[in-house]
Amino acid sequence: MSGAERRPVIAVTSGEPAGIGPDICLALVGDDWPVRVVVLGDRGLIESRARQLGRSTEGLDIIHVPLRAPCTPGRLAPANAPYVLDILDRALAGCQSNEFAAMVTAPVHKGVINDAGIPFTGHTEYLAEKTGTPRVVMMLAGGGLRVALATTHLALKDVPAAITREELATTLRIVDADLRVKFGIPRPRILVAGLNPHAGEGGHLGREEIDTIAPVIEALRAEGLDLVGPLPADTLFTRRVLEGSHAQVAMYHDQGLAVLKYVAFADGVNITLGLPVLRTSVDHGTALDLAGTGKADPGSLFAAVGMAAEIVARG
Ligand SMILES: NC(=O)C1=CN([C@@H]2O[C@H](COP(=O)(O)OP(=O)(O)OC[C@H]3O[C@@H](n4cnc5c(N)ncnc54)[C@H](O)[C@@H]3O)[C@@H](O)[C@H]2O)C=CC1
Ligand SMILES: NCC(=O)COP(=O)(O)O
């Protein structure tokens, strides 16, 4: 067995075929990783995208998963929605059988999967369901931030009801535990945002901080977690407040991710905490406008592979 073959294998799923997933996977060719990187997707599609971009697939390890229908860059086809899920299922099966040490996901298009009649909220929820994990946490890292979300892909009107004491406590416990295990931080200091402007202004702008968030923080502090909050979200991400913290928990998707993507869109990494397999991902979407143009930045994919490799190396 060669040295290269002994390296842990990381599976990179190439995602929505009409998006930039195949393009950014091609950028992995020739990079010197401490792990063996294999790309999961249709070999013909990846080779054809390489020709279009004037790139080579020489040296790219591909595990062939066949397309379900022809693909044109930039044009979504619901007929290929099952293909996207075939790739994810193959990667997950490989992680569960220890063939792969981790999976790194290129973006999928949530809308077209739903248009195909398959209910799909995101990789995060899909992998949680497939692994029978009742609760996972989405966290995006980059630009010195680690932003975890108390709720993920949910209409804004449904957010307040979803933030229950039990759900929030579970989120905070998962963030604390995974920062210790996956990131090697012995006692993570976690900032917790409020839901309402000014963290509720003492109950005059909403009661979620008083009724739910503060009591959970207090109870978990008594268990030894280092939590700060509920903090007004508009100033949580200022330099002085962030100082000394290891992660920041936002109550909903755009409260946290708008900030993260402002500081780190080029190399942010999405990681699913609390999952029994290791999954990292790019921080961006399918960028249909850029597929096949050569303009897609692969920086986030590189960072996602790098983070997975580091966590694998940490054991
Ligand atoms: N991990 C995943 O699978 C994710 C999937 N999505 C999905 O992607 C689809 C499109 O979402 P949008 O909100 O339009 O976000 P998007 O990230 O695809 O595009 C937003 C803007 O950023 C640009 N952009 C995105 N990635 C880029 C890259 N690597 N290099 C250069 N420019 C880049 C696009 O051209 C566009 O102008 C949706 O279906 C969404 O659900 C979104 C985020 C993550
Ligand atoms: N905005 C983050 C996002 O949509 C990623 O979702 P997921 O597919 O990683 O669950």
Express each pLDDT in 90-103 by its tens digit. 999 999 999 999 99
Residue-number span of the structural domain to which 207 is assigned: 135-274
pLDDT digits (tens, 9 = 90+) for 76-130: 999 999 999 999 999 999 999 999 999 999 999 999 999 999 999 999 999 999 9
| Same domain flag for 225 and 200 | yes
- Ligand with minimal distance to 122 CA: 2
| Same domain flag for 10 and 140 | no
Closest CA to 282 of 107, 151, 34: 107
pLDDT for res 315: 85
CA angle (193 as vertex; 187, 195 as ends), nearest 5: 150
If you average pLDDT over every residue of the chain, what do you get? 96
What CATH number does residue 30 fall under? 3.40.718.10
Helix, strand, coil percent content, the chain, rounded in steps of 5: 45, 20, 35
For the entire predicted model, the pTM comes to: 0.95
What is the CB neighbour count within 10 angstroms for residue 209?
Answer: 27
Cα separation of 170 and 135, whole Å?
A: 8
| Same domain flag for 109 and 196 | no
CA 285 to ligand 1 centroid distance, Å: 2
Nearest CA to ligand 1 atom 37: 287
Cα separation of 139 and 124, whole Å?
A: 10
| Same domain flag for 142 and 193 | yes
| Same domain flag for 148 and 118 | no
CA 122 to ligand 2 centroid distance, Å: 5
| Same domain flag for 217 and 307 | no
Q: Which of 13, 129, 130, 138 to mutate to test the pocket of ligand 2 (most atoms within 8 A of CB)?
A: 138
Band (pLDDT 50/70/90 cuts) for residue 32 is confident
Per-residue DSSP letter, 187? S
CA 283 to ligand 1 centroid distance, Å: 8
| Same domain flag for 150 and 232 | yes
CA distances from 6 to 2, 98, 118, 148, 229 (A): 7, 13, 38, 34, 45
Pairing between β-strand 226-231 and β-strand 189-193 as defined by DSSP bridges: parallel
Question: How many domains, the chain?
Answer: 2
Nearest CA to ligand 2 atom 5: 122
Cα separation of 170 and 150, whole Å?
A: 9
| Same domain flag for 288 and 242 | no
| Same domain flag for 189 and 254 | yes
Q: Are 49 and 26 in contact, with CB atoms under 8 Å apart? A: yes
Cα separation of 36 and 304, whole Å?
A: 14
Residues annotated in a binding site for a divalent metal cation: 153, 198, 253
Nearest CA to ligand 1 atom 7: 285
pLDDT for res 5: 65
| Same domain flag for 139 and 257 | yes
| Same domain flag for 103 and 186 | no
Half-sphere exposure of 206 (CA within 13 A, CB side): 16
Average pLDDT (36-61) is 96
| Same domain flag for 8 and 116 | yes
- Whether ipTM > 0.85 holds is yes
147: CB partners within 8 A, 6+ apart? 139, 140, 141, 247, 248, 249, 250, 256, 257, 259, 260
Tell me the three state secondary structure of residue 288.
helix
